[in-house]
Structure 1
Amino acid sequence: MDFGLVLQTDPPGAATVGLMRRAERSGFRYGWTFDSAVLWQEPFVIHSRILAHTQRLVVGPMVTNPGTRSWEVTASTFATLNEMYGNRTVCGIGRGDSAMRVAGRKPNTLARLSEAMTVIRDLAEGREAEVDGTTLRIPWIEDSKLPVWMAAYGPKALAMAGREADGFILQLADPYLVEWMVKAVRTAAADAGRDPDEVTICVAAPAYVSEDTADGLEHAREQCRWFGGMVGNHVADLVSRYGTDSTLVPEALTSYIAAREGYDYAHHGRAGNPDTAFVPDEIVDRFCLLGPAEAHIEKLRTLRALGVDQFAVYAMHDAKEDTIDAYGSSVIPVLQKD
């Protein structure tokens, strides 16, 4: 199992670079950042610095979208980073939540996302692609490789990830839901004539290593409760589209948002988000990894048995450095020895 670190690009940018360097020293292989131009600093500028100050770390957005940048610009950016630092990028992409909504736009359609994934990958790898009716090729690209990993929750998006994406990003770590969604992705891949094992499975969720006490666990929960609110934005979209039909979307995913009243993106992805009071402790425990290192290891072994290839740690809480160090000393080495 690989490990990644996910950060918001809050200023100063040097702090993000420093945490990514720390993660690489601790055995993490991937460095991910949010991509929401109004809320945080420009990630690709910071990606360049991360790549310059690490040796092996693969970097990318978790996640970009097809609406805030033109596709040839996105492709050229990735290809430039690959030329400079040796094919150490990955394109995490989705319909767009905060980046689109904060700018007053709706998330992209799946059809647009599908087209964008193909175009961005083709252009970034030096092939021709059609953009807005014009055939383009970036002539200076040689030997660039760009895996495209798609974030998804709903049935149509999961099927599309299985058919078209190089990897699947699931932003929650509940084993029941992971099993459900990984099965949907792999079934779609097989139905499309692909080898299901060729689709990389990445689970991303907050991890907080705490003391094995009631107070320690409660503090960890409060630091990670924001995540249930962030996921709840996507779940609300699913409920508006599919209702509560458990054959299409599991009740284990949808039921907890019944008390959700609204969401202010000013607090997006931050501990103490006042719009996430509706998220119960049970959801925090299911969606995240909390408690002593042994509890993390146990849950990670379960996820690995379900086919998860990478666990990406969201570190938006008050123990970023301690979590990175604990994973480097007590979690990653154990999983690598198994």
Structure 2
Amino acid sequence: MKILVNIASDGFDGFLTRVKAAEDAGLYGVGVGDTPHFRDPYVSLAAAAAATSRIRLGTAVTNAVTRHPAALAAGVSALDDLSGGRAFLGIGAGDSAAHHRGLRPSKLAELRESIAAVRDLFAGGTARFGGKDVGAQFTTGQVPVVLAAGGPGSLRLAGEIADTVLIGGGIDQVNVSTAIGAVRDGEAAAGRRPGSVGIWIVARTAIAPSLEEGYESVKVVLSVAGNHALRADLASGRVPAELAEPARAYCERYSFAHHGTAGDNPNVALYESLGLREYLLERLAVIGTGEQVAAAYGRLMDIGVEGVLVPAVAEDSLQLIQRLGDEVVPRVGTGSESLVD
């Protein structure tokens, strides 16, 4: 099992301490989000590359709405050179970064075009994007593309074009199995070898002796994940009937101004007041002792998951990283092979 952590670049001393701890813990990778709430991910990842020697580094995730494909390719190519080939490009349709600029997320066709352009530019050639030719003066080779996906369309797209998919919609077996099926359908439609796309999942994790103690560590990331998951569940009709109106109210009233912010986050208070806490915990979180967390990851491995991305953004994030290394990695291991077949 590949275990990665998503670390907030909220201050370089603390950020680099956590990055180094992740490498020392034997984790597979570190991701940094591309959101206005934190420092620039490419600068942060460059600092991380200089401070480490083994661990994988990448965006988790960026987008092609606020970042032109030429800027994406140049940034990730530089990171790959600086890190000695350890970079990956995690990319999605765009969420908080697009929202804060008054922009909409990428449509699937736009996301497909953006990724194709980035890959052409990685190869040092000319890319076609937005009806114009874009050139690159660097030749990196193909940096792995990890496509964040939640809905059936984006999951199938990942199966068609990605090296790895990052599934964010939930850790329950029904969601994961359904998502993997959509990815495999995309592989088949594109004529790719079955199983050629790696499967990662976002697992909001807390290692704690009780549910209540663990909840304190994941409640903010649940507020962010809930905004995504509830929108998808409403669209698919999956939300239990008694929770449909509360779920709709949460999505309508979600505050992007407090997207992932620590402290007294009003989005947390909102989902709690709407009676959504238990549903979000069951759908999105892994909470327990190190042994219990490892067992939960093992069950995900049994249905085809190869990696978990753990948001490590709470106040106890350093402790979480260290405990993943001490208590979970020895039980499930962490992969070191390439992201690309």
Q: Determine the C-alpha separation between the residues in 1 that align with 2:282 and 2:230.
A: 20
| Helix, strand or coil at the partner of 1:196 | coil
From 249, 269, 276, give the equivalent of 2:260: 269
Closer, same or farther in 2 for the Cα pair 1:82/1:144, shift >3 Å? Answer: farther
1:72-151 alignment, distance < 5 Å: 72-141=70-139, 143-151=140-148
The secondary structure found in structure 2 opposite 1:198 is coil
Q: Does 1:48 align with 2:46?
A: yes
User: What residue identity is the alignment partner of 1:229?
Assistant: S
Judge which range, 294-303 or 266-275, deviates more.
266-275
Contact 1:119 1:131 in 2 (8 A): yes
Task: Please state whether the residue corresponding to 1:90 is helix, strand or coil.
Answer: strand
Give the paired residue count: 325
Report if the CA contact (8 A) 2:23-2:52 is conserved.
yes
8 Å contact 1:31–1:57 — kept in the other structure? yes
1:321 maps onto 2:312 in alignment = no
Partner of 1:336: 333
Q: Secondary structure at the match of 2:299?
A: helix
Q: Which residue of 2 aligns with 1:291?
A: 288
Cα deviations across residues 206-249 of structure 1 (Å, max 9, x unaligned)? 211111xxxx321211331233322233345546xxx6544xxx
Equivalent position amino acid for 1:262 in 2: R
The code of the aligned residue for 1:224 comes to V
| Residue of structure 2 in register with 1:60 after alignment | 58
| Offset at residue 137 of structure 1 (A) | 3.2
Aligned-residue Cα RMSD (Å) equals: 2.3
Cross-structure match for 2:208: 210
Normalising by structure 2, what TM-score? 0.88
1:136 aligned counterpart, secondary structure: strand
SS at match of 1:28: coil
- Taking a change above 3 Å as real, the CA distance of residues 244 and 75 of structure 1, as seen in their structure-2 partners, is closer
Q: 1:289 to 1:245 in 2, by over 3 A?
A: closer
SS across alignment from 1:225: helix
SS at match of 1:197: coil
Q: Which amino acid aligns with 1:301?
A: G
Aligned residue in 2 for 1:257: 247
For residue 203 of structure 2, give the secondary structure of its aligned residue in structure 1. Answer: strand
1:310 counterpart residue number: 307
Compared with structure 1, are the counterparts of its residues 236 and 294 closer, same or farther at alpha carbon in structure 2 (3 Å cutoff)?
closer
Counterpart Cα distance in 1 of 2:194 and 2:265 = 38
| Alignment match, 2:338 | none
TM superposition outliers: structure 1 runs of 4+ over 6 Å: none
Give the corresponding residue for 2:175: 177
- 1-structure distance, mates of 2:327, 2:33: 27
Give, in whole Å, the separation in 1 of the partners of 2:12 and 2:129. Answer: 32
Q: Provide the C-alpha distance between the structure 1 equivalents of 2:202 and 2:30, rounded to a whole number of angstroms.
A: 12
Shift of 1:66: 0.6
Distance of aligned partners of 1:133 and 1:282 in 2 relative to their CA distance in 1, 3 Å threshold: closer
Q: CA offset at residue 24 of structure 1? A: 0.7
- Go from structure 1 to structure 2 and tell me whether the alpha carbon gap of 1:252 and 1:14 turns closer, same or farther (over 3 Å shift): farther
2:19 corresponds to which residue? 20
- 2: CA distance between counterparts of 1:165 and 1:151? 10
Moved more, 145-154 or 295-304: 145-154
State how far apart, in whole Å, the 2-side matches of 1:105 and 1:267 are.
18
Alpha-carbon deviation of 1:265? 2.0
Q: Which amino acid in structure 1 is aligned with residue 329 of structure 2?
A: I
Q: 1:41 to 1:245 in 2, by over 3 A?
A: closer
**Mapped partners of 1:87, 1:235: distance in 2:** 33
SS at match of 1:75: helix
| Distance in structure 2 (CA, Å) of the matches to 1:287 and 1:252 | 15
Q: Matches of 1:217 and 1:270 in 2, distance apart?
A: 22
Counterpart for residue 33 of structure 2: 34
Instruction: Please say if residues 222 and 280 of structure 2, whose CA atoms lie closer than 8 Å, have aligned partners that are also in contact.
Output: yes
Verify the 8 A CA contact 1:293 1:331 in the aligned structure 2.
yes
Counterpart secondary structure, 2:200: strand
Q: Distance in 2 between matches of 1:294 and 1:64?
A: 33
User: Deviations along 1:262-308, whole A, 9 cap, x unmatched?
Assistant: 11123212454221342322421431111111110111011111111
1:8 maps to a residue whose letter is: A
Q: Mark the CA change 1:100 to 1:319 in structure 2 (over 3 Å): closer, same or farther.
A: same
- Unaligned 5+ residue runs, structure 2? 336-341
1:10-36 CA-to-partner distances (Å, cap 9, x unmatched) read 1x1232122011001101111101101
Q: Against the structure 1 CA distance between its residues 15 and 134, is the aligned structure 2 distance closer, same or farther, given a 3 Å change threshold?
A: same
Match of 1:280 in 2: 277
Long gaps (5+) in structure 1: none
Offset of residue 131 of structure 1: 2.8
Q: TM-score, with normalisation over the residues of structure 1?
A: 0.89
